Each structure stands twice: as structure tokens, then as C-alpha cells.
Amino acid sequence: MTDREIREDDADDLLVEAADWLVCLTSGAATDDDAARLAAWRATSPAHEAAFREIAGVRNYAVAAKHNKKPAMVSRRAVLAGGGTAALAALTLGVARPPLGLWPSFAELTADHRTAIGQRYAFAPVNGVKVEMNSRTAISLLDTTRDGANGISLVVGEAFITAGERSAPFRVKAGAVEASTRRASFNVQRLDGGVRIACVDREVTCLGGDRPIMLRANEQVFVAADGGTRRSEIDGAKATAWRRGLLIFEGASLAEVVDQINLYRSGKIVLANTALGGLEVNAIFHTNRIEEAVPQIEQLLNLRARHLAGGVVVMS
């Protein structure tokens, strides 16, 4: 084994340890002793601290530990006076950006429509428009009038929109990206990696990247978190195969594949390093048998999966 391989194995081990800590601290049973031991573990070396930050997905991850003894009560006055600032900050951070997505964010909890794992749901926000929601998806309504909503905000997940002939465009917001059309069928994903809009029929206008993009049938655009865009041709039937219970990947990156698989399972699949995300995947998965995906990926790409509590899987 080379020195580089040894270093990579050590880094993988640290990520697994960090994931163990995160599962412990989000279990609801963490104590002050657990918090102290975590602080000592993170202080062991810069590599330990980097591993924890990577696995938690936040730069300043705060944890509220539970006392073994009777917990002290914090009054509303104390919080308003600043005594509860740290606890409030920890709570706000955990609700706004839950680590590893192990529980719904505040935006998801307050959305107008939500689906659970494995659930799908369809609704009509306004006459002439149908929205089909995929598993683990949250949507809020926009531009609500007496006749309905003339737009939606995709908080997280995936949706297929069918808009009939309209006098005014129907809008779909996904973070900083917006798609609009007067008549079209299109698919929108908002996952960890970015936003993907796929036009299946007619035309969709997309804003939010480095320039406006007009998509026609069987075209898609991917907008990364940094605003960069990538446009490509697609097979519309394959891009929306989730509506038939299938995930079809042809030359997709492992990062994209993992993002989509995570919609259908509890917990989260995590890649041990960013280099793995670039591996190419050609595969078909059944969404009602998604537990088969991890062993298939292991075999396909010669990877190793470590299963942790809370449904967390670290692939290396």
C-alpha cells in the first residue's frame, strides 16, 4: 500500500468516526459528557476537525447536550435578555440547516405541501396546472389569488409540472433559479448538488444562472450552487422515469446518483471524499427497492459502504 492510499484510508476512518459522533449528538440522548468528549476529539488534530465539519456540512455546528441531572429551566425573560442566546442559536441552526438532512428544515416544515419517504402526491395549484410531487419533496405556493396560485417554490425534492395554455406564465422557483412557461411539461429537481430543470414538451424559460436559457423539448439545464450552468440534451422519458418507479442513469456522476437515491430512503448516503462524486454511473434502480442501490453501487464501482446508526451510509 502506498503512502497516499494509507492517508486516504486514515481520512475515511476519520469521516466514519465523525459520522458516528453526529448520529450520537442528533439522537436526542446526547449528554454533557458526550459534548465534552466530542470537543476533545475535534481538538485531536486539524484532520479531525475538518472531518467533522465535512460530515456535518456546516462551518459552525452547534449541539445542545442533555443533562443527566434535572435540566435547568430557561425562562423567556432570560432568553430575551441574552442568557439563552447560545441555545437559541443552536436550535436555529439545527432547524434551518439540519446536518446531513437527518430531519426536515424549517422551510420544509412550513411548506404548503410535503411528501414523506416513498410517498407521491399530485395537486392543482391553479386551473390548468398540475404538479406531481416525488418522495421527500416540499412545495410552497406563490402569487396566491382568489383563483389559485400562479407559481410554486420547490423547497426541496423533485416535481413534474404540466401547464396548459395560459395567459400569464406559471412560475416555479427553486432557490435562486426560476422556470416559467405559458404551456409546457417539465421536471424540476432541487437537491444538494444544485437545481436541474428538464423540459419534456414545448418551451420553458430559465433564469438564475449566468444567463437566461430557453429550454425546448428534450433539453435540460443544471445550475450549480455557484451559479454555473450546464446545458444538455436528454431523453424526456428517462429523465422523468421516477413517475414510473424507476431511476435511470446513463453516464451520470456518482454525486448526482446519490443525491437522487437519498430522496427515497431514511438517513443519508454520504461520499467519503469529493473525488468519488465524479465517478461515472450507468445503472437502473427501482424506487420501491431502493435498499438494493447501495450494494449495487459497491459492486459496480468497487466501493465500500459503512452502515451507521440513523440510516447514514458512508461510501469510500
- The pTM of this model reads 0.69
pLDDT of res. 3: 43
CATH 2.60.120.1440 residue window(s) in the chain: 107-239
CA dihedral over 190, 193, 199, 200, signed as positive or negative: negative
Q: What per-residue confidence (pLDDT) applies to 101?
A: 58
Q: pLDDT value at position 23?
A: 63
Q: How far apart are the first and last CA of the chain?
A: 16
Output phi, psi for 135, to 5 deg. Answer: -60, 145
Residue with cell 468528549: 37
- What element of type H or E holds 271? strand 268-271
Which residues are within 8 A (CB) of 181 and not within 5 positions of it... i.e. 6 or more apart? 163, 169, 170, 202, 203, 204, 205
Amino acid at 311: G
Which parts of the chain register pLDDT below 70?
1-12, 22-30, 54-104, 209
Could you say which DSSP state residue 65 is in? P
Residues of the chain with CATH 3.55.50.30: 245-315
pLDDT given for residue 95 in this prediction: 46
Q: What is d(CA 218, CA 241) in angstroms, rounded to the nearest whole number?
A: 14
pLDDT given for residue 242 in this prediction: 95
Where would I find the H helices in 105-197? 106-109
If you classify domain 107-239 with CATH, what class do you get?
mainly beta
Residue (of 64, 59, 63, 56) closest to 99 by Cα position: 56
Matching residue, cell 406564465: 169
Provide the pLDDT for residue 63: 37
Query: Do 262 and 225 contact (CB within 8 A), yes or no?
Result: no
Name the class of domain 245-315: alpha beta
Hey, is 69 helix, strand or coil?
A: coil
* Helical H segments across the chain, by residue range: 3-25, 32-42, 46-56, 76-81, 85-96, 106-109, 236-239, 254-261, 293-301
